[in-house]
Structure 1
Amino acid sequence: MKKSIFIILLLYPLFFFSQTRIITGVVKDIVTSIPIEGVSVGIKNTNGGTITNEEGKFRMTLNIINNVLTFNHLNYNQYAYTILATDDNLEILLEPKSYTLQEVVIRNQPINETVMEALKNSKKQLEKSVLLSTYYREFIKVDDVYTNFSDGLLDYNIKRKSGASDLYVNQSRAYDLKDSTSAQRQKMNEAIYFYDVRDAISDAYNLKKLKFILQSKNYDYEIETKNDDKGNTIEVVTVIPKKEVKLGLNCGTVVYDVKTKLILEIDLKKSPEHKQYIDEINAGLFRFKINEECRKASFKIDGDNYILVYNQNKLNVYFKMNDRIDNTYEFLSDLVTTDYKEGEFDFDRSKRHKERSLFSSGNNFKEEYWKTKNIILLNEEEEKIINTLNGK
């Protein structure tokens, strides 16, 4: 009997550490009860995490010894919640952060120089050997009809410089619209696919679009300095395209931390007032016109670590090539960091992902990770899209 108890006591820690729980929930504004999109949901004392979707919903898989969830958003007070034994589906209410604002001032050159300093400093802080575990997904529309979806759990082994990395696909799934032209359409999609899943991190790290804007003379800037009650200061810079410039310019906002000069958020898109000036480009064998281009990214400062949390790209483009292609394509990609580890890591480089799109990895999964892992949950509309592509 004593021997049996001894064995149980030896095995109990292993059993204890192996247990996990899946917690779902929704995050809302405590004042308006409106769901909050883009809240960073983490597990205290770990680098694991995800973000809330458009409906404010999230799901987290956590070990029972790490039972405190943290919630962070620039516009809300940080919040920590200790998971109880009875918890299953949570409703988290966040309080809007109380900022004091300085007077809005419109400036030109000094502002973009300051933002450029934050950009350079952010890139410098990101340039280190890191393993980013991520959830990545991509949608494709052709002539306003969803034709493709793929997602997966991806590891980016970053080699210091500007996010240059090797990509390893751990698990993936892929669905496409089943019709008489699906095979031909897929070949066309792969031929003109504008994003490269292999470059998702370097795209986020390089901040090329923002750098291009800051170096241009076609923009003005408006800046707000916000101070919270804990002494933290952020500056929100609004990018304003000049009305007299007849080009397809961008608009949006950039947020950075004043103390560290690190970028926290980027939200850029085509200026609605300037879309009329977007020209069709003749590239010889083909012509194209970019109707819309959006870029969102968020980063967090976690002690000495500066981490990419989320990156989204959206592109709507008309493309014509002889009699083969005459369509409007829309590409949407989302990436969220689920874990972060610094250091040097050994991988079998022969197993690197070598295609532009994740779709080429097909259905290659050991478990239904979209039901258990830390991913961006699909909203109701996206669920319907996946079911349609999956023939359900």
Structure 2
Amino acid sequence: MIKKLTFFICLFSSFVFSQNLEFTVFVKDFDTDLPIEDVTITAVKSNQGFLTNKEGIAIISLKKSSDLEFVHTSYKKLNVKNSAFNQKEITIYLEPITQQLEDIIITKDHPQEILMRIIESSKRRLTLPISLKVYLHEFYKRDDKIIFFNDGLINFQILGNDKNIKTDILVEQNRAVGFLDNDFDTTILGYDLNNIIENYYQFKYLDEVLDNRARKNYDFTLKTYPPNENYLVLKITPLPDSKGILSNFRILYDTKEKIILELSSFVDQDRLEMYKEGLLASRKVYKLEFKNTFRKDGNYYYLANSKEVIGFEKRYKNKERKIEVKNHMVITDFNKKTFEYGDRNVFKGKSLINKNTSFFTNYWDVASGFVSTDEEKNIIEQLGKPDTEILNEEENSNE
């Protein structure tokens, strides 16, 4: 394929010269007034995507005026008219659904069989080919201290079909700050961008609960989802006597559309402590979390955002180190049409940790769809300073 030079020019032009409507949204719990993290916000007219951070904050930058949809599985969905966004800062309250009781559903087929059918249906329904514009945001910890950060605007060109997915990655802008030891093996860090979409679109994280042995190791429970009678929740939990590092799963799916809307998993801390020797040959895992959110809009069905956290201990030069990687991916825009590009423009690396910083706008402030918290911004600023400047600041603070 021949790369069209107009591609990046158009990206730049649309970003810089479009008259965006910008404001900050604070999303809070109606009962507690506390901020709500991981709220998926979608502009109804343009399908632009945003995600709230730990402070419940999202900076909204719209291409055109639009109503906004606020979705979180622990709260009632809320649609807010665009006329309400007439100030630079807006507070939105979501009503929790935790008070509503879930009923257990008894089915003729085992829930595992239902899950298999839902997975196959979801694979077929996912929109392909598609171009996803993604903001990637990653923090790296060593011994409980953040030592490195990278983020970037990435274009995933997802081609193929439900049986064979191919992903090409084009990095629009990116930055990397911090310091990794020379002996630090970067191949164990980050999430492999070249197969991450395939894992998500093939629902590979569910493989461990799909084989015949899974019924002996897990309890499968199907429950109602009170906010929407068309949705059901499948909870999969390891049985007390089952061995190994086994995840707890929660799958929210639409019974009419037969598609997965949210998939999350985590491993209980007690189970990690008991079986941490067995997950990876050279690592002792102490944290393992995952969450995917999918969105259905008309004929489109696509990944809306994801979050993964892995923490493990690994020996370096006869010393145990705790390593933790936290990754957010937010789909800020998408297009059914893919664009032309050359092979030399495709990013071949495993992670942005291996790519030199290159940016021409402060994309992380507005274009990201997901902003760092004030605490994270301070950390990023410190990571970006030369070692001599940090040393001088420490000396001045001690005087």
TM class, shorter-length: 0.7 to 0.9
Report deviation, 1:243.
Answer: 0.6
1:291 equivalent to 2:290? Answer no
For 1:343-380, what per-residue CA distance to the aligned partner results, in whole angstroms no more than 9, with x for missing partners? 34212221111111112223210111111214211123
2:265 to 268, 272, 275: 268
1:193 equivalent to 2:189? Answer yes
1:66 equivalent to 2:68? Answer no
Question: What secondary structure is seen at the aligned counterpart in 1 of 2:344?
Answer: helix
Are the structure 2 counterparts of residues 384 and 109 from structure 1 closer, same or farther at C-alpha, using a change threshold of 3 Å? farther
Equivalent pair of 1:248/1:270 in contact (CA under 8 Å): yes
Question: What secondary structure is seen at the aligned counterpart in 1 of 2:263?
Answer: strand
For 1:111-134, what per-residue CA distance to the aligned partner results, in whole angstroms no more than 9, with x for missing partners? 111122111111121261000001
Correspondences of 1:1-392 after superposition (within 5 Å): 18-63=18-63, 65-74=64-73, 75-83=75-83, 86-96=86-96, 103-104=103-104, 110-126=110-126, 128-161=128-161, 163-177=165-179, 182-185=180-183, 188-193=184-189, 195-215=191-211, 216=214, 217-228=216-227, 232-280=229-277, 287-320=282-315, 323=317, 326-391=320-385
Q: Which runs of 5+ in 1 are unaligned?
A: 1-16
Are the structure 2 counterparts of residues 344 and 77 from structure 1 closer, same or farther at C-alpha, using a change threshold of 3 Å? closer
Q: Which residue of 2 aligns with 1:4?
A: none
Amino acid at match of 1:91: T
TM-score, L = length of structure 2: 0.83
Whole-angstrom CA distance in 1 between matches of 2:132 and 2:279? 38
Equivalent pair of 1:288/1:318 in contact (CA under 8 Å): yes
Equivalent pair of 1:130/1:343 in contact (CA under 8 Å): yes
Report deviation, 1:90.
Answer: 0.8
Report deviation, 1:264.
Answer: 0.9
Whole-angstrom CA distance in 1 between matches of 2:300 and 2:262? 16
Equivalent pair of 1:103/1:224 in contact (CA under 8 Å): yes
Are the structure 2 counterparts of residues 175 and 241 from structure 1 closer, same or farther at C-alpha, using a change threshold of 3 Å? same
Equivalent pair of 2:51/2:330 in contact (CA under 8 Å): yes
For 1:58-77, what per-residue CA distance to the aligned partner results, in whole angstroms no more than 9, with x for missing partners? 011113x4243332333313
Whole-angstrom CA distance in 2 between matches of 1:48 and 1:237? 29
| RMSD between superposed Cα atoms in Å | 2.7
Question: What secondary structure is seen at the aligned counterpart in 2 of 1:184?
Answer: coil
Question: What secondary structure is seen at the aligned counterpart in 2 of 1:235?
Answer: strand
Whole-angstrom CA distance in 1 between matches of 2:112 and 2:145? 39
Are the structure 2 counterparts of residues 55 and 106 from structure 1 closer, same or farther at C-alpha, using a change threshold of 3 Å? farther
Report deviation, 1:261.
Answer: 1.4
Question: What secondary structure is seen at the aligned counterpart in 2 of 1:260?
Answer: coil
Q: Which is worse superposed, 152-161 or 357-366?
A: 357-366
Are the structure 2 counterparts of residues 256 and 86 from structure 1 closer, same or farther at C-alpha, using a change threshold of 3 Å? closer
Whole-angstrom CA distance in 2 between matches of 1:282 and 1:48? 38
Whole-angstrom CA distance in 2 between matches of 1:101 and 1:352? 49
Amino acid at match of 2:166: A
Report deviation, 1:86.
Answer: 4.4
Are the structure 2 counterparts of residues 211 and 246 from structure 1 closer, same or farther at C-alpha, using a change threshold of 3 Å? closer
For 1:187-218, what per-residue CA distance to the aligned partner results, in whole angstroms no more than 9, with x for missing partners? x2413226212323222212212122232231
Whole-angstrom CA distance in 2 between matches of 1:338 and 1:151? 14
Whole-angstrom CA distance in 2 between matches of 1:144 and 1:29? 29
Whole-angstrom CA distance in 2 between matches of 1:71 and 1:58? 11
Are the structure 2 counterparts of residues 234 and 390 from structure 1 closer, same or farther at C-alpha, using a change threshold of 3 Å? same
Amino acid at match of 1:277: M
Amino acid at match of 1:377: V
Question: What secondary structure is seen at the aligned counterpart in 2 of 1:287?
Answer: coil
For 1:123-162, what per-residue CA distance to the aligned partner results, in whole angstroms no more than 9, with x for missing partners? 1212610000010011111222211100010000001235
Question: What secondary structure is seen at the aligned counterpart in 2 of 1:173?
Answer: strand
Amino acid at match of 1:307: Y
Equivalent pair of 2:31/2:95 in contact (CA under 8 Å): yes
Structure with the higher fraction of residues in strand conformation:
1
Whole-angstrom CA distance in 1 between matches of 2:103 and 2:335? 41
TM-score, L = length of structure 1: 0.84
Whole-angstrom CA distance in 1 between matches of 2:127 and 2:81? 33
Are the structure 2 counterparts of residues 298 and 48 from structure 1 closer, same or farther at C-alpha, using a change threshold of 3 Å? same
Whole-angstrom CA distance in 2 between matches of 1:239 and 1:282? 19
